[in-house]
Amino acid sequence: MFRRFLTIFLGAALLAAFQRPSAAASLDQLSKDVETLKKENEDLKERVKTIEVKDEEDSYSEKKRVNISGYADVEYDYSSVSSNPDHFRVRHLSLFFSQDVQKQWKLFSELEFEDAPLYNSTTTQGQILLEQMYIQYKPSAEFEVSAGRVLTPAGLWLIYHYPPYVETQQRPLHIRKIFPQYSDGLEVRRSFALGQSMLDVQAYVTNGTGNPGVNDADSTKGIGVRLNLSADLQKGKLEVGASYLSPDDTTHIYQNSYGLHLKATSGPLRLQSEYAARQSMNPNFANAYWDTGFYVQGAFDIKKWTLVARWDQYNGDGIYNGDGTLNLTNPVISDHRVYTAAVNYHLFHNVLTRFELHRHEFANPSQPNYYLGIASVILSLGDL
C-alpha cells in the first residue's frame, strides 16, 4: 500500500515538473517583452517628434501669412435740414493688414475708404486714408514699441472707434478735434500690475498736428502720454485714465490738450464718459483760447439688443475756419449740444444693424437746430 502511494506521489511530482516552465525560460521571455516595449517606445518617440516638428512648421507657415480683416458699413441718413436731403451713404470700407514678421516683430496697417471715393483728374470725393501703419517690437505682453502712424493714444473713443465696437455711427463732437485722429512718430507702451489692477502707460513723440503725410514735418515735436488704470470688480470692471499732448501745428499755433476718461461695466450695463480741453495760443496774439468737450453715454444689453443714450457737448465750434484750421484772429466760441438715442440689434456676432437719432442744438442763434437720423448695417471681417 505504501509503495503504491509513493509511486502515485512521485508520478504527480514529475508531471508537474514537466508542465512548469524553467526559470531560465521565464527570464528569456521577459527579456524579449522588455525589448519589444523599448522598440515600441522608441517608435512612439519618433512619431511624437515628427508631429511636433510638423506643428512647428505649420505654425511658422501660418504666421508668415498676411492676416486680412476689417469692417464695412452702409447707412441711410435722414436730416431735418432742407439743404441736406435724405441719402444712402456707403460710409466705410476699412481693411487691416497684419503679419508677425518674426517672433517679436509685427507689421500692422489700416487702409480706409470712406464715402466710396473716386479719384481722377477732375473729380475728388470721399476719402482714402492710411489711418494706421506701424512697425512694432513686442518682446513681452507688458512692453511694446511702435514706430510709424498710430491712432493718437488719448481717451477711449479715439482709440476704440470702429463701428462694430461702438454704439453709434456718429462720434461725440470733440473727438478728433481736441486730440488729433492719428500721430506720426514713436510710441512706447508699458503695463504694470498694481495688486488686482493694471496700469497702462503710453508715451509718444509725434510730428504734431497739421498737414498729413510728408508735409507733417514740424521743427518742434509734440510729446504725449496716456495713463489707463483698469480694475476687475466683483460684478464688473472699471477703467479710469488721463491723457495729455502738447504739439505745435504747422501754422505754429501752440496747443496743450488734456483729457480724462472713465468706463464702467456691470452685467448688462455700460457707462462711458470723456472730458477733453485744449488751450490754443497764437504767438502773434496775447490771448489764449480754450475749446472743451464732454460726453456721457449709457448702454444696456438685452439679449441681442443694445439700448443707447448719450448727452454730448462741445464748446468751440467758432474757432475753426472753413478748411478746418484754427482761427484765433477773431474766434467765436459757441456751445453745441447733441442728444442721442440709439438701438443696436446683433443679427450675428459679426453682423449688426443700428438705428440712431440725434438732436443737434446750438447756442448761436444763427445756427438752426436740427435732427439727424441714421439707419445702418455693419459687417466685421475677420478678427479686428
Asked if residues 375 and 75 have their Cβ atoms less than 8 Å apart, the reply is yes
Give residue-wise pLDDT tens across range 3-39. Answer: 555 455 555 555 555 455 555 666 677 777 777 777 7
Q: What is the CATH number of domain 67-381?
A: 2.40.160.10
Provide the residue type at 195 as one letter. Answer: G
Given CA atoms 209, 213, 219, 223 in this order, what sign does their dihedral have? positive
The pLDDT of 102-131, averaged and rounded, is 76
pLDDT at 361 over 90: yes
C-alpha cell at 370: 436740427
pLDDT category, 84, cuts 50, 70, 90?
A: confident
First to last CA, the chain: 100
> Which residue is listed with cell 524579449?
32
* DSSP-H helix ranges across 129-256: none
- The string of pLDDT tens digits covering residues 251-288 is 566 788 999 999 999 999 999 999 999 988 766 665 67
Q: What is the pLDDT at residue 229?
A: 98
Q: What are the domain boundaries of the chain?
A: 67-381
What is the reported pLDDT for 250?
A: 56
Q: What is the DSSP string of 314-375?
A: EE-TBTB-TTS-B--SS-B--EEEEEEEEEEEEEETTEEEEEEEEEEEESSTTS--EEEEEE
| Residue 323 pLDDT exceeds 60 | no
Buried b (16+ CB within 10 A) or exposed e, 235-247: eeebbebbbebbb
Q: What is the pLDDT confidence band of residue 341, given thresholds at 50, 70 and 90?
A: very high
> How remote is the C-alpha of 281 from its chain's centroid?
33
Query: Does the pLDDT at position 317 exceed 60?
Result: no
Indicate yes or no: pTM above 0.85: no
